[in-house]
Structure 1
Amino acid sequence: MLFPILTIFCNAGLLEALLVSRQFIEQEVPKTNVLFADPVQADSALSCSFRCLGKNVTGDCNVFFYNKTTLNCHLGDLSEIDRSKENNSTQLVWKLKGCSVPENPINGKWYCETNIKQEKCFLVCFPGYVAKSFRGLYCYLYEDQAKWDKSPNEFECLPTVIAITGGFYFPMVGQLSTFGPDGQVRLPNHLGHYFRQHIVQYFRGQIIYCGGYYVRNKCYRLNFTSGGEGTSMQISTKIRINSASVIVQDRYYIIGGDLAESQAQAEYILEADGLSYDGMLTPELTDANTAPSCAIRFTDKSFVNIVKDMVTEYDISAGTSKALPNLNIPRQRFGCDSYLDEDEELVSIVAGGNTVDSAYTAEIFKPSFGQWIIIGNLTYPRESHAVVTTSDGVFAIGGENNPTGKVEKLDIKTKTWIDTGLNYDPDSAFFAATAIPVDILPP
């Protein structure tokens, strides 16, 4: 009985297909991404695959193309930069198998890119939830086996409360507080420096706040597990005051600012090493009158930056930008964030401001509608405040012109604002609030 089976499997085409498919998959890739070395002669696709696995070519080899007519074996690699937007032609190749896409965690999902040299996935937590520590997962070959650089089981999306660093007046400029269902909690940890008109994000498992009136071109890290404030790091030679910030994939973007040197050039902190790199140009930020702007993660690979009423989407993978519909009301010193609505669609929201008609108003952008829509008014006028989404909802908190310190919450279904009955120190939340995990707080 074995002989017929062996006869079948000895069929050259079938055997070749089986062996090749163990290590490679056939895939269409952008032609502009394929870097082929000079072709070599081979008698089959199978021997071509063995050459690639043996790396019998200058440099790396993770793709090959076998021309049956000419018996040419083209061994190659994929470029780091995806230029598929520039040229949409494709090439069918055998691509070295990569890592399996991990299962989505609770309150989040994975966004993966597999058409460039290194396969990678990014944890995208739903609004109101943040990554426990890292967001980027990278596929490497270890002894010819594709493995993730970290265990996907380590990646979680955690529920949050609001954290506020610094403020506008003393002594709040040096303090840290949180706001949750029980109201404001002033934490004993002093920030170690004064912070005002700065930015803050939960990134790399730490609260990282950057720039501002006192710190200017540095970032500081607050890590409760290590006992308090960590070391400072230089973010750039640019002074960043009244900047915007947003996290997309494994990058913490810092955008714009009051001073000419910080306008028109974004930068980002990379999760892997904590260092700062120049980001894309932001040409709409051209003078001090445009600051501060506000930024929101828009898709799994892009963010929007809002300047007065002008909205621009930046695709960080392609390095491109495009204009989106304008706000209905021009705004400055306003709050912004995103949330999942009742249809589980990602919705952007802006509220408040110090321009005409903006202090009480709010509007949302629902991509399926394709335009900004005015929703219910804020209960209290706000400027220089924060709009933050936590796992408990969307909140408007703080602000210069809200002396009562009232905090309100958006009713997502009715698109109206509800007074929570809770107060927060009105001298805080001056563009300096973010969502942090509930369970990292000290006892």
Structure 2
Amino acid sequence: MPGARVKVFEAAAGYRPQGAGVQIEINGWRALHAVDAQLADRIRSQGILISGSIYMDESGARLPFQEPAVDHEGNIQAYGHTAVMVHWGDIRQSLFEALPEGTVSFSTRVVGLTPGQPGRQPAVLQLQETGGDGSGGGAARTVTAGLVIATDGYYSRTKRMVFGASGPPLLPTFRGKLIWRALVAYPDPASMPALLRQAGQAAQALWWMASGMPPERTALVYPVNDNRFVWTCAAPVGDIEAAGLPAWVPHRGDQDLGIQQTGAVGTDPQSRCLAVFRRHPPELRDLLARTDPRVITEHGYYTHDMQLVQGAPDWLRGNVVILGDAAHTGPPDGMGLNMAWEDVATLAACLQDHGVTQEALTAYCDLRLPRVHAMWGENDLVKPRRVAAKRAAAFRPLGPASSGPERTGPPPSQQHAQAQGQQGSAPAAAAAAAEKGH
């Protein structure tokens, strides 16, 4: 949209290297290439191709099932892309640096929002400068906007302000678990425990899993690059008390808490995580202990019930449209970012076609709802429909910076296969059986 003036309001004082890695999948790459091919290539260059996973029990013994190696070359030939693991901090920094200078207004929180009406009455935002910790109390100002795109995560303040939401179905449901994530850098391979050094050299992910299906507790570690590892640990909140620590209290739907603050009761997140995973093998405990506590994120496991997501009634009010996790929080497996990029490419195409109008925003919601249901409408995330949905993703190139249809949609041979698959279930089942990813 030539001539459009865009501003991003960010409550934090800046971007820190927090979070885990994100596996960017076929659908995410196609959406990003529809926007900016150079940006996609830059993010891809910072990632790593995970070759496979090693599955262990909580004592460190190998489990009977092990994953075959991922055929990245075969994926590229068949689908034009393959899954790449990139640290979330690197992704966010690349997105930030791709924007014109001054686009992001840090230390700025939206404290009030009147949605207005497309083409008739602008949205009005009340803003407040925040402190370095994201707290309020600074100078206030008011701005108007023809369109507000809210991508403020699954604790979405925008939904609570504009929709009056305080719980399901507009806000996600707490699933009884706690998740910790962080990045750890080793000085050199010699300083790593042997298991981690071997995983880094082979580009393998390491899983420690409790019994049960799905397992109650999981610890996942994988390399990114430059002697760095990302880890994600998940456990029931009851494990906190079982470890002798004060109970972790999930936030209420009306609380204004970000991902780093929620449930931070008593000791710090690192101590909680170490206490829960205290009986795990020394390689994992070494990784957790050497992590800088300031980069550990801790939050409850929340997801939307996708069967209740309605599209426009949940995502659209006047000039305000909801994208990403704020609109559709799925399991914490990285697909959230991929689907957020799908949201972006689809919304941009609708705005190019119709301008900032009710027609454009409604068309966006109507296009996105079937994709959300296709990706997350089943409990088993490896069912044929989800596999087929990733591979069928296609987006219109949005401008001269995009890389064209050969990178934004399935290759012609795959398009033919998908067309055949719509006539019967066998191709989709075969696609699920052939899927080799994390």
Q: TM-score, normalised by structure 2?
A: 0.23
If asked which structure has higher relative contact order (CA below 8 Å, sep 6+), I would say 2
Q: Which one has the bigger helix percentage?
A: 2
TM-score by length of 1: 0.23
**Which structure has the larger Rg?**
1
- Give the structure with the larger strand fraction: 1
